[in-house]
Structure 1
Amino acid sequence: MTIKCRVNRTGLVRLGRAALLMLAAVLSGCASLPEREPAPASWAIRDTANTALAEVTADDIAAHPGLSGALLLGDPMDAFVVRLGMIEAAEKSLDLQYYIWHQDLTGDTLLNRLLHAADRGVRVRLLLDDLDTAGKADTLFGLDAHPNIEVRLFNPFASRTSRVSGFLTDFGRVNRRMHNKTITADNRLTVLGGRNIGDEYFNATEEVVFGDLDVLCQGAVVDEVSVQFDLYWNSPWAYPMDRFANGRDTVADLNRFRRASEAQLEQAKKSRYAQGLAGAVQKLRSLESDDFEWGQAKLIYDDPGKVGGLKLSSDTHLAPELLKVMAQVEHDLLIISPYFVPGERLTQYLVNMVERGIRVRIVTNSLAANDVPVVHAGYMRYREALVAGGVELFEYKAPLETETEQQKDKEPFWKGASRGSLHAKSMVFEEEGLFVGSFNLDARSAVLNTEIGVLIHNPEYAKKISADLDRLILDKAYQVTLEEGDLVWVTRHDGEMVRFDREPDTSWWTRFSTGFMRYIVPEGML
């Protein structure tokens, strides 16, 4: 008997989808998430008045009731030393929430110090987005086995061996990630901003460094960060690590991790990077209370339910709150966003601002500096409209300045990376206030990922960022302009103005492939 089959395009799509589902089932072994019985709730420890961090912050907080002190961390090595110092100083609690935590020189060092903090009685809660945990089971199970450390995974993949199967069978869920980055010590100091944990964020590699921005805070906003952390930690999207153990000997994992971690720390201490940190360590030790700028601060963040498709509103999402602040601008707006895909509506919104007499400056990555070329493909669609509409558009250079001859003579000098990529996510409003956080101006940050940031009213910081950008931007970036309808890139090199008529520092293949992607990549995925 012969069976005839006629399949139209819809049928082919269905057959293709069915084949992918079958493949995914084979890859994952029909994996599923553990039963979602409520995990034991825990909350920030607020009884920390007798800790060392409370003592060093008490006078400033008392002198600024209801306000927050902020110290911007632009230097990557300073940012590492501050985190290390917070971990070493903590006496009761450490709450850490990160999208990416690499196991490299800086990441392993911080994990070692967390282990030692737990050994001396500090309660450590480590909340990691599950996207970056592949291959790290031994470390995470080991840490979680310590009686004073608990690890939870946010929005985890069902299969612990294949991320591919998760994307094939459950794409709508696992495509939504927790992009928040915070570390809080004894509920007295917190750091939040754009940096994940890894060598490229702290200039500990000679390959590439991310130009980034964090803010170290004390005062009222610290408790707001703790409330946010508790909301995520106790949400149904945060799964305790031990739910995935399945009878595993995690105590053995802890013992192996401890031995390996101690050996790694000894190697890290001998590195040129460790010796290069001396200046940053001295800077941290010499911090004075007047190094912090005090003022009103407001934490804004997405509800963790955003990964479940929570309806967009100003009560549950960060983006509407930022738009409210942007809508109040009458004179000057500065946007710094490494991944900038504004879409038609925001593009027109920014052009309309210029038409009303508002100065709008945007700094994003050049194609050579962008570590995600597909995002650049989405951004390319709007460059001409922005520039034609009067927006001042700048693209961050990839090549960094080399060390001076004087620095070369200083051994051991840590020169760091030779190439850079913009990773800071910040805004300055009217040279009066600023936003520092994890939020990019793209669809992924607005719709898919959860984000966090702080709005700080501080004219001194805002004016300094704005003035420094005007003074230095052409040394660090290309200004994109239009000449006779074509885009050109202008920059300053060795004091001389230089002009390019195509994407600088790129090969023809990079330009071609990225230009091709601009026509096929769905913008909602960027």
Structure 2
Amino acid sequence: MLHNLAEHRRQIFTGLAILLLSGCALPPLADRPDSRSIPQSQTRETVLGQAITPKTDAHPGESGVVLLPDPFDAFAVRALLAEAAETSLDVQYYIWRPDTTGTLMLYTLYRAAERGVRVRLLLDDNGIAGMDDILAALSQHPSIEIRLFNPFVVRNPKWLGYFTDFRRLNYRMHNKSFTADNQATIIGGRNIADEYFGAGQGTLFADLDVLAIGPAVDEVSRDFDRYWDSSAAWPAQRILGEPESDAVAALGNLFSGAENSDAASVYVHALEDSGFLRKLLAGELTFSWAPVVMVSDDPAKVMGRNVKEDLLSRQLARALENPERSITLVSPYFIPRDAGVELFRKLEERGVEVRVLTNSLEANDVALVHAAYSKYRKPLLRSGVELWEMRRLDNDPPREQDLQSGMVGSSASSLHAKTFAVDGETLFVGSFNFDPRSIHLNTELGFVIESPELARALEREFDQQVRFTAYRVVLDEDGELRWLEQQEHRMVTYSHEPGTGPLKRMLVFFWSLMPIESLL
């Protein structure tokens, strides 16, 4: 213990010394290699192109989309795209962990690079803890280029950077996309880590991605280029330095160990049993065809140079203005602020039904966010909003059949999907949370899908599942909050946050008084 404390102090003093000597300066971006996404016209003859082009040619102007609520399917499709790619893989994520699924996914990228596929990996530097040595070794491969978005100068401990450069480092890239041969792409809410793919023993997330083919893919590729070429994207080698002499050998051992581990074997077996995977491999997967508009923030947002009209939140407002009947909104981190409450109040006055599903305190993995949200529950309910909070259901290792309906609820223990439907006509899926951080600080990415079929599917699933996976939040006759839980044969009413102790509730109350809402 004393040794660990001394090591921790040494790291802090070393970091402070680096800060003083470097002045927090990032290395220059001059002579950064230039690259662009490969045009779809040049990848039509790849395996993916030959499978996809006849479908897209039959639906001009529309994109084919498949929702991916199931975590095993979401992982399998990414792995299959990486294995099938022949020319390029463009991969962009906020969080990537070196756990079972994170390592397996890196291995699929490495195998693709070994076949000569160009791999471009763009990662937000705030979400790659413990990855520096791995990424430094991977970046040595001639077919792999890695860039870090808005990087930290001090690598260990990173948080020291906030003391001297908080304004810059507080802005992060929250986008998620996985694009193969510019023919197929996956966007949505999932990062790359066990909790997003139904693996491991800790908190598991109910999440939602979209697999897309057609014009939407080219939009995502152009957006990837915009981020890749931005002044916030640094070549990893200039930030991480040269890897240790045995780093490449260690990388091989890491991949071999992950592939042969008990955790991986259980997970791979579950993937092999996936009905979705069988349909995909057999070419029997059914796409929904619809106009799809990609919405995203300008990467300059992290430099504070964004134009308000270019913000994703403004693009969403323009794309989804003037709902007439209903809004069904699913967001794990929901802080509407006064402006959002007023918007919902006006919609309800016009006869628009507004329904919201977010995390309960017991399911929320960021209690500070819940503290900020909790102040708005009574105003929302007084405005007529129908409010639901997802329960923490269990922490048992998931089985595939338990996770098939993860769009608004599953055996996962925390909600992470970000989606909403308007008037049963339009569906949004992406990385955008309805909170100040997504609006003002993080960059985000998503699809606006003009599909009554998919929008109504979300509404139906909300109707069918939310009663059994979430608490209905209401006001009693005295205007006090109550939580209603539908159990098998009865309704249970709680007078305080269900599934939580008095200490946690007290801490959340005190946090709700702190002036930090704009940072959440």
Output the TM-score relative to the length of structure 2.
0.91
2:289 is aligned, of 277, 286, 294, to: 294
Structure showing greater radius of gyration is: 1
Counterpart for residue 74 of structure 1 = 69
Counterpart for residue 146 of structure 2 = 151
Distance in 2 separating the partners of 1:74 and 1:224: 23
Query: Contact 2:136–2:240 (CA<8 Å) still a contact in 1?
Result: yes
For 1:129-144, what aligned pairs fall within 5 Å after superposition?
Answer: 129-144=124-139
Moved more, 217-226 or 328-337: 328-337
2:467 is aligned, of 449, 457, 474, to: 474
Counterpart for residue 456 of structure 1 = 449
2:334 is aligned, of 337, 340, 363, to: 340
1:447 counterpart = 2:412: no
Query: Contact 1:134–1:161 (CA<8 Å) still a contact in 2?
Result: no
Distance in 2 separating the partners of 1:121 and 1:250: 25
Counterpart for residue 102 of structure 1 = 97
Distance in 2 separating the partners of 1:192 and 1:495: 39
Counterpart for residue 180 of structure 2 = 185
Distance in 1 separating the partners of 2:191 and 2:100: 14
Q: Deviations over 1:146-182 (max 9, x none)?
A: 0000000000011122322210000000000000000
Assess, with a 3 A threshold, how the Cα gap between structure 1 residues 51 and 463 changes in structure 2: closer, same or farther.
same
Moved more, 367-376 or 135-144: 135-144
Query: Contact 1:60–1:289 (CA<8 Å) still a contact in 2?
Result: no
Moved more, 100-109 or 467-476: 467-476
1:285 counterpart = 2:252: no
Counterpart for residue 438 of structure 1 = 431
1:28 counterpart = 2:16: no
Structure 2 residue identity aligned to 1:462: A
Query: Contact 2:201–2:395 (CA<8 Å) still a contact in 1?
Result: no
Q: How many residues align?
A: 494
Distance in 2 separating the partners of 1:208 and 1:346: 29
Assess, with a 3 A threshold, how the Cα gap between structure 1 residues 505 and 250 changes in structure 2: closer, same or farther.
same
1:83 counterpart = 2:78: yes
Query: Contact 1:296–1:457 (CA<8 Å) still a contact in 2?
Result: yes
**Residue segments in structure 2 that go unaligned for 5+ positions in a row:** 1-12, 403-409
Assess, with a 3 A threshold, how the Cα gap between structure 1 residues 304 and 404 changes in structure 2: closer, same or farther.
closer
1:500 counterpart = 2:494: yes
Counterpart for residue 60 of structure 2 = 65
Distance in 1 separating the partners of 2:122 and 2:210: 20
1:242 counterpart = 2:233: no
Query: Contact 2:398–2:412 (CA<8 Å) still a contact in 1?
Result: no
Distance in 2 separating the partners of 1:230 and 1:403: 38
Q: Taking every aligned residue pair, what percent have the same amino acid on both sides?
A: 42
Assess, with a 3 A threshold, how the Cα gap between structure 1 residues 436 and 418 changes in structure 2: closer, same or farther.
closer
Counterpart for residue 227 of structure 1 = 222
Output the TM-score relative to the length of structure 1.
0.90
Counterpart for residue 513 of structure 1 = 507
Query: Contact 1:146–1:254 (CA<8 Å) still a contact in 2?
Result: no
Distance in 2 separating the partners of 1:354 and 1:219: 37
Query: Contact 2:89–2:118 (CA<8 Å) still a contact in 1?
Result: yes
Counterpart for residue 389 of structure 2 = 395
1:428 counterpart = 2:428: no
1:372 is aligned, of 366, 382, 388, to: 366
Moved more, 288-297 or 356-365: 288-297
Distance in 2 separating the partners of 1:23 and 1:391: 52
Structure 2 residue identity aligned to 1:425: K
Assess, with a 3 A threshold, how the Cα gap between structure 1 residues 313 and 44 changes in structure 2: closer, same or farther.
same
Distance apart, 1:343 and its partner CA: 0.6
Query: Contact 2:15–2:154 (CA<8 Å) still a contact in 1?
Result: no
Structure 2 residue identity aligned to 1:356: R
Counterpart for residue 299 of structure 2 = 304
RMSD value over aligned CA atoms?
2.2
1:350 is aligned, of 309, 323, 344, to: 344
Distance apart, 1:24 and its partner CA: 7.5
Structure 2 residue identity aligned to 1:300: V
Moved more, 41-50 or 98-107: 41-50
Distance in 2 separating the partners of 1:462 and 1:495: 31
Distance in 2 separating the partners of 1:199 and 1:290: 25
Distance apart, 1:252 and its partner CA: 4.0
Distance apart, 1:355 and its partner CA: 0.9
Distance apart, 1:276 and its partner CA: 2.0
